[in-house]
Amino acid sequence: MTEIKRRALMDKEAPNRSTAIVNGRSSNILNWDDVRFSWAYPKYKKMLGNFWTPFEINMGTDVKQFLDLTDEEKNTFKKIIGLLALLDSIQTDYAGKVADYLTDSSLNALMIILAQQEVIHNHSYSYILSSLVSKDEQDRIFDFWRTEPVLEKRNDFVLKGYKNFAENPTIDNMLDSIVYDVILEGLFFYSGFSFFYHLARNQKMVATSTMINYINRDEQLHVDLFVKIYKELLTEYPEYDTPERAERVQNIFREAAALEIEWANEVIGTKIDGLDVEDVEDYIYFYANVRCNQLGYDRPFEGYRKNPLKWIKAYEDVDLGKTDFFEQKSRQYVKVNVQDNGFDDL
């Protein structure tokens, strides 16, 4: 069991360019032109390029449309926002915890930006709800996680992985916690995303979906950052790159997919006209395969090689200059340089 030590605040004897991703030597001085990992600076540029805030988005039309949603749609809308608020809150803190153990000032910097983006995600949920519902109702939605049993199960699942690392920071536990991270940022948001894109596809709640789309775009970069850290850990500690680990990760993904499907049945089920929960289930299997494979392992589910909700692709790619579904004013504020948006190398 290799224990991981926290990064020192400063080390006069160590180089600015770190000697290892964890347990390495680093002065802790950040010079972007003298960093260990060649991918860190391009990632920094991409993350800054994604910058957005909810203030840019006008909720006026959504406020009117929300009243016309069916009760089921309203309910699902609120439950999903409640879930996302919880996930992003935890994520803000987890990013900081991991950052403390990376002996590389540039990766620490990327984690700080990641955490800042999670804060903006949480801001968007407050912003959406304060536009649509009363303060009491907003407070109730932000407390869903305390009382919803399906949510509790999923939260316990991710938290277990994070807590093991926080309480016992070893290489193994850091690797495992990153798997849970990739599930949180790359799978557990996705049935929620599908619901909002479904509404947008029907010209409903487009401002909310625009924010969801920005969040989706951020999360893709976050998943990729954690995947890079995971792979670097295995490069530096190849003794952990074992068939047992591969099997463990696949099993974690199987469990995660089952929990996400349970959640999808709870919030989507047969309640949402035009959105078939079986398609959402296939979408979850597909993404579980994608994420597990991104980490370098065989896909845990036979088949499921293609996105069954093809129309979602258009929403995921909305800022790549390929499509223009969101006819909002905010579209003009897109700050991503189309030539350098980085999605091609995800």
Q: How many CB atoms lie within 10 A of CB 284?
A: 26
Listed ranges 55-63, 81-89, 133-141, 313-321: which one lies at the site for Zn ion (CB under 5 A): 81-89
Catalytic member of 125, 190, 214, 230: 125
Rg over alpha carbons for the chain, rounded to the nearest Å, is 20
Looking at beta carbons only, is 104 or 219 nearer to Zn ion?
219
Would you tell me the crossing angle of helices 105-132 and 60-68 to the nearest 10 degrees?
60
Binding-residue total with Zn ion (CB under 5 A): 6
Does 118 help bind Zn ion (rule: CB under 5 A)?
A: yes
Listed ranges 19-27, 82-90, 250-258, 277-285: which one lies at the site for Zn ion (CB under 5 A): 82-90
Residue number with the smallest Cβ distance to Zn ion: 222
Looking at beta carbons only, is 26 or 91 nearer to Zn ion?
91
Q: What does the alpha-carbon distance between residue 231 and residue 147 come to, in Å, rounded to a whole number?
A: 37
Considering only residues 210 through 249, tell me which ones interact with Zn ion, judged by CB under 5 A: 219, 222
Does 185 help bind Zn ion (rule: CB under 5 A)?
A: yes
Does 121 help bind Zn ion (rule: CB under 5 A)?
A: yes
Q: How far is the CB of 92 from Zn ion (least distance, A)?
A: 8
Looking at beta carbons only, is 17 or 43 nearer to Zn ion?
43
Q: Which stretches does DSSP call E strand in 220-300?
A: none
Q: Which H or E run contains 72?
A: helix 71-99
Contact 111, 102 (CB under 8 A): yes
Question: Per-residue x/- mask for Zn ion, residues 136 to 175, rule CB under 5 A?
Answer: ----------------------------------------
**CA triple 227-233-237, angle to 5 deg:** 150
User: How many angstroms separate the Cα of 64 from the Cα of each of 15, 70, 315?
Assistant: 58, 13, 23
Listed ranges 80-88, 103-111, 198-206, 318-326: which one lies at the site for Zn ion (CB under 5 A): 80-88
Q: What does the alpha-carbon distance between residue 177 and residue 175 come to, in Å, rounded to a whole number?
A: 6
Question: Per-residue x/- mask for Zn ion, residues 18 to 57, rule CB under 5 A?
Answer: ----------------------------------------
What are the structure tokens assigned to 98, written together? Answer: 């991991």
Contact 56, 35 (CB under 8 A): no
Q: How far is the CB of 240 from Zn ion (least distance, A)?
A: 24
Residues 6+ positions from 336 with CB-CB distance below 8 Å:
49, 50, 319
User: How many angstroms separate the Cα of 191 from the Cα of each of 168, 173, 180, 279?
Assistant: 32, 27, 17, 10
Listed ranges 14-22, 53-61, 116-124, 151-159: which one lies at the site for Zn ion (CB under 5 A): 116-124
Looking at beta carbons only, is 95 or 277 nearer to Zn ion?
95
Does 88 help bind Zn ion (rule: CB under 5 A)?
A: yes
Looking at beta carbons only, is 118 or 260 nearer to Zn ion?
118
Q: Which residues pair with 170 in a beta bridge?
A: 3
Active site residue 125: yes
For residues 141-152, one letter each, b for 16 or more C-beta atoms within 10 angstroms of the residue's C-beta and e for the rest, the string is bbebbeebebbe
Q: Which residues bind Zn ion (CB under 5 A)?
A: 88, 118, 121, 185, 219, 222
Active site residues: 125
